[in-house]
Amino acid sequence: MNLNVKSPFFLTQALLPQLRAAASTDQPAKVINVASIDGIWPNPMETYSYYASKSGLIHPTRRMAATLIRDNIVVTAIAPGAFASEMNRDARDHADELAKHIPSRRIRQEEDIKKRLLDGNAASRTAGESAARVPTFAQMAWRQAKLAGA
């Protein structure tokens, strides 16, 4: 909770003077929080604190977005989907099998996240949304099948 919920909130709060100074109607300042698809849809792993913290980031993001847009500060979140990592061993170790259930037929890589965060349009005017990087219905169907033992 400290890393995924408190830190983004307090960091944004601490940077408000700089964000306000940099913001304009034509060029809003941007805050992009990194949530997770697991904050939107459950997955078969029993990492309860991770789910809670990532879903717990989404709602403060929406609240900050609703408040800070008045100051031309756009607050949004990205919600990466299947991502090859130590935590997501299925995506790391069984990428080909998991990718069959994702419309793009690929597992996200570190470079995908970097591009999304560095893209000047990643959060240009959308405030309070959690942009999932993998279509959620496809991933949910795969997760539900896995939970059911299929």
C-alpha 89: how far from its chain's center?
Answer: 19
Instruction: Tell me which of 3.40.50.150, 1.10.150.20, 3.40.50.1820, 3.40.50.720 is the CATH number of domain 2-147.
Output: 3.40.50.720
Whether 50 sits among the annotated catalytic residues: the reply is yes
Strand order across the beta sheet in which 29-34 lies: 29-34, 73-79, 130-132
Determine contact, residues 133/78, Cβ cutoff 8 Å. Answer: yes
Domain boundaries, the chain: 2-147
Active-site option among 6, 45, 50, 131: 50
Q: Does the predicted model carry a pTM greater than 0.85?
A: no
Condensed to tens digits (0 to 9), the pLDDT of residues 97-138 reads 888 877 778 787 777 777 766 665 544 545 555 555 433 344
CA 88/CA 94 separation, integer angstroms:
10
pLDDT reported for residue 38:
79
pLDDT reported for residue 144:
54
